[in-house]
Chains A and B, each alone.
Chain A
Amino acid sequence: MASRIIVREAEKEDIEKIVPLLVRLKALNEEIDPHYKAVDNLEEAARKYLETLLDRSDARVIVAADAETGDIAGVIIYTLVDRIFYEPRIKAVITDFYVHPRFRRKRVGSLLLDKAAERAASDGAGIITAVYPAGNAIAENFYKSRKFVPLQVEVYRPL
């Protein structure tokens, strides 16, 4: 039977259920590029990160929850950035976006993205962007199919 999904802003009580999703996301990033090597205390780091985000006024954590079980099916996190040289000044940057594999292909990702875009607009953002590892073809296809276009390139080299 199909799950009914509720998309809403996260609360402190959700943190323990969001942590495993963030851990999975960072572990996936590590698979895509070894320079995303995850820290040993990944769970703890994820927990602290979420606690901090939920206290910030320039960041939003939005979750998709299974209405029956309360399980968190996915999470999207964005922060607001003031682009002081450009118009529109405020952009929402999606920094973390993950849907648990069990809930994929059920439009959970689209629901989360739509909610984030709507909330970002009400936060005063004029554009929404997303960052993800360069080799993540799944993310690339997802955003491309939702009319996102390349905006910025980040290159790196180890020191």
Chain B
Amino acid sequence: MHEVSFHIRRAVSGDEEALADLIYRFYRFNEEFDPAWSTTRNALEVARERASRYISCGEGCFALVALMGEKIVGYAYTEIYEAEMLEEKNLAVIKELYVLPQYRRIGIASRLVEEAERIAREELGVEYIAAQFPTANFVAEKFYRNRKFRPFISIYLREV
């Protein structure tokens, strides 16, 4: 079996277009799980703005990309939350994680999460990492459970 080689790094200037495409795909996929995730008609444009923001975000967030050769094939976006009342004040939350379908099952998502954990722990001094995903995304649920994540917060929703 041949070894598949990819690497992970922080998103940098120049990644905007590829990152925007992945962000767009992430939101389009989430749209399938609940109508409340319905995307706007200008979602791709919004994704471009987000990509720029993710690349330039300061200490409160960071974006990682996975590269296969020169091609960006996955990303993870993490935000740091401060909960003043809690003993462990800071919490890193993986808000978005996506790998292009044809590059799945080779460990890219796992490596993105591991790197997010490393940065949170070693560079930001955060003791907990969490992940958000639509409740009906059973693939994501299984993925995180397999990596020792446990349920933490539930969000319930209804139309008003």
| A contact residues vs B (CB 8 Å cutoff) | 27-28, 30-34, 36-37, 101-105, 135, 137-138
A34 pairs with B32, CB closer than 8 A: no
Contact B101 A138 (CB under 8 A): no
Contact indicator B101/A104 (Cβ below 8 Å): no
Chain A residues lying within 8 Å of B101, measured Cβ to Cβ, are 30-31, 33-34, 36-37
Which of B63-80 touch A at CB < 8 Å? none
A138 with B102: CB separation less than 8 A:
no
**In whole angstroms, what is the CA distance A9 to B32 when docked?**
24
B111 at the interface (CB under 8 A from A): no
Asked if residues A104 and B35 are in contact (CB atoms below 8 Å), the reply is yes
Residues of A within 8 A of B103 (CB): 34
On whether A28 and B32 interact (CB within 8 A), knowing A37-B101, A137-B138, the answer reads yes
Main secondary structure on A side of the interface with B: helix
Instruction: Tell me if B105 counts as interface (CB < 8 A to partner A).
Output: yes
Chain A CB within 8 A of B110 CB: no
Interface residues contributed by chain B, number (CB under 8 Å): 17
Known: A28-B32, A101-B37, A102-B35. A135 touches B139 (CB 8 A): yes
Separation in Å of the B112 CB from the closest CB of chain A? 17
B35 touches A34 (CB 8 A): no
* CA–CA, A32 and B104, complex, Å: 10
Q: Which residues of B contact A30 (CB under 8 A)?
A: 101
- The smallest C-beta distance from A154 to any residue of chain B, in angstroms, reads 19
Set B35, B104, B105, B139: member contacting A101, Cβ < 8 A: B35
